[in-house]
Amino acid sequence: KAAAATFIAEMGVDLSVIKSAKHLASWAGVSPGNYESAGKKKTSKTTQGNKALKTMAVECVLATSRQNNRIASHRKRITKR
């Protein structure tokens, strides 16, 4: 309940302003930077973003990692890539 309240408080209820999932991830500060030079990938830090939204998103991901359900299985498959 607290996570849903935080997401609604930070993003608002009008989601028409959010263009895509990538846009939301960038706004929350969870999308990695892309620093490449001469074909070599350099360090990739996450972008600065909404601190409350980023913290709650990370807490939700960590909570699902300890569960044994469909969402946790999907996240584990993505993590292996």
Residue that is written with structure tokens 């935080």 in the block:
6
What pLDDT sits at residue 56? 86
What pLDDT sits at residue 41? 72
Domain of 10 in residue numbering reads as 2-80
What pLDDT sits at residue 11? 82
The reported pTM is 0.59
Q: Which residues of the chain have pLDDT under 70?
A: 33, 42-44
CA-based radius of gyration for the chain: 15
User: Which residues, 6 or more positions from 38, have their beta carbon under 8 angstroms from its beta carbon?
Assistant: none
Number of domains in the chain: 1
What pLDDT sits at residue 28? 82
What pLDDT sits at residue 44? 67
